[in-house]
């Protein structure tokens, strides 16, 4: 009652860890059997290895947290040679998060990483708020987002999902632009731009000054954006933003997501994805569903369901 099929992805269940919140799976593989997961969204890869921003990189906020990791990663070669092979022992589709400072960067990473045997789809990170170049810049301009999507689609061997930024006036506008540019799906939302100041020094707590806000605090923003975008486009959405429980998963599916990703909650409870997957069947029954598919988009009374939902 949990399986979902999306472009490039045959998911045992609709729950996967969100990019940047699960590393490359290594640490969690010591805690539970990763075969349980619907998929794994691995940490962003850039062409070159990056240290990222200076510390402090995280700060707590009411019901949420700020992070400014800054795309620290071992670089494309490191990911392909070390991280991805380690995940081959699991029967779980990998969604590779692709980042960079220029269209060429994205194309380079997308072309090579999409050829890795266990990479089933790409997630174009055009919404990272924590880097000076690239990242969010691509995600806030429909034209740039579309151009990038098109360029990456040309070189990718697997379906391409575009990760949308919530820091925009009209998220539907960006969603439509990337759909038209050939995106196979959307993932949303990335973090909201935020800041916290230290009362003693007066200065920002994060070395990077601003950071990305995630966690329960942003859930209502995510729900409304997914609700809106799922009406505006007909490609599927993987939803995220503050998910902490099986009930939250249900709310995201109702809003119009076809699957979900769990981010920050992995830090609070490293077993959370596994626990949510265990709880899903009973919770679905409790609310009268015999399959997760039935929940998708239920908040839109009159919305025609996109094709892949009818399958």
Ligand X SMILES: Cc1cc2nc3c(=O)[nH]c(=O)nc-3n(C[C@H](O)[C@H](O)[C@H](O)COP(=O)(O)O)c2cc1C
* 233 close to 175: Cβ distance less than 8 angstroms: yes
* CA of residue 66 relative to chain centroid, distance: 16
DSSP string, 147-185: HHHHHHHHH-SS-EEEEPPS-SS-HHHHHHHHHHTT-SE
* Residue closer to a second copy, measured from CB, 236 or 239: 239
Q: How far apart are the first and last CA of the chain?
A: 14
Q: Residue 303 annotated as binding? A: no
Closest distance to a second copy from the beta carbon of 51 (Å): 24
Point out which residues pair with 64 in neighbouring strands.
Answer: 61
Taken as a whole, the chain contains a residue count of 311
Q: Is 128 a catalytic residue?
A: yes
- What are the φ/ψ torsions at residue 65 (nearest 5 degrees)? -145, 155
Q: Residue 71 annotated as binding? A: yes
* Residue closer to other proteins, measured from CB, 99 or 160: 99
Write out the binding residues for a second copy, residues 179-208 only, by CB under 8 A: 192-197, 199-200, 202-204
Partner whose binding site includes residue 262, from other proteins, ligand X, a second copy, none (CB under 5 to 8 Å by kind): ligand X
* Residue closer to other proteins, measured from CB, 258 or 264: 264
Distance CA 193, CA 188 (A): 14
Partner whose binding site includes residue 287, from other proteins, a second copy, ligand X, none (CB under 5 to 8 Å by kind): a second copy
Q: Contact letters (x/-) for other proteins, 48-87, by CB under 8 A?
A: xxxxx-xxxxxxxxxxxx-x-x--x--x------------
Write out the binding residues for other proteins, residues 268-287 only, by CB under 8 A: 268-271
Q: Is 43 left (phi over 0), alpha (psi -120 to 50) or beta?
A: beta
User: By C-alpha distance, which of 13, 8, 1, 5 is closest to 308?
Assistant: 5
User: By C-alpha distance, which of 106, 180, 111, 109 is closest to 143?
Assistant: 180
Backbone Cα Rg of the chain:
18
Binding site for a second copy (CB under 8 A): 61-64, 66, 140, 167-170, 192-197, 199-200, 202-204, 209-210, 213, 215-221, 223-224, 227, 242, 247, 250-251, 254-255, 287, 295, 298-299, 301
Binding site for other proteins (CB under 8 A): 20-23, 26-28, 30-31, 48-52, 54-65, 67, 69, 72, 75, 215-216, 244, 264, 266-271
Residues with catalytic roles: 128
Q: Please give the annotated binding residues for substrate, written as ranges.
A: 43, 67-71, 125, 190-191
């Amino acid at each position: 009652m949990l399986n979902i099929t999306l472009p490039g992805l045959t998911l045992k269940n609709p729950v996967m860890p969100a990019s940047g919140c699960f590393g490359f799976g290594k640490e969690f593989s010591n805690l539970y059997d990763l075969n349980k997961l619907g998929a794994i969204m691995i940490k962003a890869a850039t062409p070159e290895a990056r240290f990222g921003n200076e510390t402090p990189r995280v700060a707590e906020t009411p019901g949420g947290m700020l992070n400014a990791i800054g795309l620290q990663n071992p670089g494309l070669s490191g990911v392909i040679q070390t991280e991805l092979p380690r995940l081959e022992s699991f029967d779980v589709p990998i969604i590779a998060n692709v980042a960079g400072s220029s269209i060429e960067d994205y194309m380079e990473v997308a072309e090579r990483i999409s050829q890795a045997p266990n990479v089933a789809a790409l997630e174009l990170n055009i919404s990272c708020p924590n880097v000076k170049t690239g990242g969010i810049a691509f995600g806030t301009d429909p034209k740039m987002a579309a151009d990038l999507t098109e360029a990456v689609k040309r070189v990718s061997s697997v379906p391409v999902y575009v990760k949308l930024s919530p820091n925009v006036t009209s998220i539907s506008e960006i969603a439509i632009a990337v759909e038209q540019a050939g995106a196979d799906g959307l993932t949303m939302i990335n973090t909201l731009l935020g800041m916290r100041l230290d009362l003693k020094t007066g200065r920002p707590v994060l070395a990077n000054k601003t950071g990305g806000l995630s966690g329960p605090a942003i859930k209502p923003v995510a729900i409304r954006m997914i609700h809106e975008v799922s009406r505006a486009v007909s490609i599927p959405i993987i939803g995220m933003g503050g998910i902490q429980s099986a009930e939250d998963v249900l709310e995201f599916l109702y809003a119009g997501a076809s699957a979900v990703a769990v981010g920050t909650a992995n830090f609070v409870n490293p077993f959370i994805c596994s626990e949510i997957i265990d709880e899903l069947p009973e919770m679905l029954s409790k609310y009268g569903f015999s399959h997760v598919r039935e929940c998708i988009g239920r908040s839109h009374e009159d919305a025609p369901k996109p094709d892949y939902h009818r399958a």
